[in-house]
Structure 1
Amino acid sequence: MELLILGLVLFVGGHSVNLFANQWRNSMVEKVGLLPWKGLYSLFAIVGLVCLVYGYGDARAEGVYLWQPPVWTRHIAALLTLPAFLLLFASQIPGNRLQVATGHPMYLGIKLWAFAHIIANGGLHDVLLFGTFLIWGIAGFAVSRRRDKAAGNVREYKGLMRDGITLVVSLGAWAGFAFWAHAVLIGVPPFGA
């Protein structure tokens, strides 16, 4: 469990610097330069992700369970991840309707993904991992929306083509992950019995 916690601190903590310590981040960029800062940031993210993956696997093997969710919650979680994928890809394709409407669809997608996994998994490690991401998604969305409002940021809608690309890419990625990659990478088929 310690490795999972370290991974969360490094990965989520590193991704939170811009949210909660933006002035410190800017001063560090001025001191060391943008490229060295990005290199250090990437190193933290990679080390954090590796610790998360191995720490979660180790904690899952220990099997400390708080509750035993019914099998049907896995199916609900798999379906909830569909809009989570849509929101995730909406954050990466500029000018689509979801990005314009929400401002920060990635945080909304993270919240939905985390919530879906909390209801489908009853382990202490699940609550720790997905609960941390849920809280981070809530906080990140609130902070980012507040900043946008204060700065007067408005995103420009660039037409149905962007919406179509977002939808097609999201559906394809979700289907690939839900019906193949999740079982291969995580070891659990979302629509399995």
Structure 2
Amino acid sequence: MGALIAGILLWSVVHLVKSVAPGLRSAIRGKIGEGPHQGLVALLIISSIALMIYGWRTAQYEFVYDPPSWGRHLNMLLMVFAIFLFGAAQGKSQVKQFIRHPMLTGMLVWAGGHLLANGDSRSLVLFGGLGLWALISIFTVSRNEGPWIKPTETVTLGREILSFAIALVLYAILFGMHRFYTGIALAGPNATG
């Protein structure tokens, strides 16, 4: 469980430095330069993901709570919307007229959905930890940005439907690969959470 917690903390600290301690970020960038700073951030993020995957796969399963019977199915539906929100954050989207931080909101949907489907200790640590990070980030980034100014440029409904179709394809790929990066099959005879 130590590696899982370390990965979540590293991920959170690296991402929160920009919104919580922008002066520290600028100082580091000033000392080592823009390129090395970006490389260091990328290395730390990759390391945090590796720690989370390793920590997840090696952590002992311990029961914490009994998730609702419908939680697993709702989670599968919510993941489509989480992926769609991640994509909406990357460019123009009508979603940005309604959601200020689509990627962080997508992370909250991802975390909340998985907490509805899983009631073990490692799930609580991983999804609860990253959900908490996303919630803190929404508040700190919004505080730093000031009042919400909605984007003036959006996309057509057809383009938004295409984005949703792409999210469905990505969902299918991630669904099929889930057992390889988590050790948990979502379909078939060994399907769980």
TM-score in terms of structure 1 length: 0.87
AA aligned to 1:186 is T
1:43-192 map, 5 Å:
43-59=43-59, 62-92=60-90, 94-150=91-147, 153-160=149-156, 162-178=159-175, 180-190=176-186, 192=191
Q: Count matched residues.
A: 188
Structure (1/2) with the larger helix percentage: 1
Misfit runs of 4+, over 6 Å: none
1:73-128 deviations in whole A, cap 9, x for unaligned?
21111111121111111111x11111243221000000010001111111111111
Secondary structure, counterpart of 1:158 in structure 2: coil
1:37-86 deviations in whole A, cap 9, x for unaligned?
01111111111111110011111xx2211123355321111111121111
**Aligned counterparts of 1:6 and 1:183: Cα–Cα separation in 2:** 23
In structure 2, runs of 5+ residues without a counterpart are none
The aligned counterpart of 1:19 is 19
**Aligned counterparts of 2:51 and 2:182: Cα–Cα separation in 1:** 15
Q: 8 Å contact 1:77–1:116 — kept in the other structure?
A: yes
**Aligned counterparts of 2:143 and 2:23: Cα–Cα separation in 1:** 16
1:128-183 deviations in whole A, cap 9, x for unaligned?
11111111111111222233335x654232321542342222121112223x1223
Q: 8 Å contact 2:56–2:182 — kept in the other structure?
A: no
**Aligned counterparts of 1:176 and 1:36: Cα–Cα separation in 2:** 33
Root mean square deviation, CA, Å? 2.0
Q: 8 Å contact 2:111–2:128 — kept in the other structure?
A: yes
**Aligned counterparts of 1:146 and 1:76: Cα–Cα separation in 2:** 32
**Aligned counterparts of 2:36 and 2:14: Cα–Cα separation in 1:** 15
AA aligned to 1:126 is S
